[in-house]
Amino acid sequence: MREKDKTFKYLFYVFLTISFLFLVLKIDFLVNDVRLFFSFLFNPYFSVSTINRFEKVSKNVDYLLECGVKNKNLEKENIELRSKLIDYEALDRQYKEVNDLLRLKQGFRYSGKFSKVISVNPKNPYSFIYLDKGFNDGIKAYNPVVVYNNDKWFVIGRINEVYKNYSRVILITNTNFSFISDTPSSRGLVVGNLDDDLIYKYIDGDIKLGDDVFTSAISITFPPFLHIGYIDKIISNADPNSRMASVSTFKIKDINYVYVIDWQPYIDEDNLVNI
Partner 1 sequence: MMFIIYIAMVFFQWLFSYQPDFMNLSPDIIFIFVFWANYYKNPVPAILFSFFAGLYADFYYITAFGSYTLSFILFSFVVNKIKNNIEIDSFIPRSINFIVSNYALIIFITILNFIVAGSFSLNYAVFIQPLLNIFFFEIFRYILNKLFKRREYARL
- Applying CB under 8 A, the residues found at the interface with partner 1 are 4-5, 7-8, 11-12, 15-16, 18-23, 26-28, 31, 34-35, 38-39, 42-45
Of 37 and 63, which has the nearer Cβ to partner 1?
A: 37
Minimum distance, C-beta of residue 46 to partner 1, in the bound complex (Å): 9
For residues 258 and 131, the answer to whether their CB atoms sit within 8 Å is yes
In the complex, minimum distance from the CB of residue 47 to partner 1, in angstroms, rounded to a whole number: 10
Nearest residue (CB) to partner 1, 31 versus 267: 31
Q: What is the dihedral of CA 53, 59, 61, 64, to 10 degrees?
A: -130
Partners of 231 in the β-ladder: 247
Compute the least distance from the CB of residue 68 to partner 1, in Å.
39
Nearest-approach distance from CB 83 to partner 1, in angstroms: 59
Whether the CB-CB separation of 250 and 148 falls below 8 Å is answered with: no
* 8 or 54: CB nearest partner 1: 8
Contact 249, 172 (CB under 8 A): yes
Q: How far apart are CA 146 and CA 167, in angstroms?
A: 15
Q: CA–CA separation, 182 vs 176, rounded Å?
A: 19
Question: Least distance in Å: CB of 48 to partner 1?
Answer: 9
| DSSP codes, 70-83 | HHHHHHHHHHHHHH
Whichever of 3 and 270 has its CB closer to partner 1, that residue is: 3
Asked if residue 198 lies in contact with residue 229, where contact means CB atoms within 8 angstroms, the answer is yes
Pick 27 or 64: Cβ nearer partner 1:
27
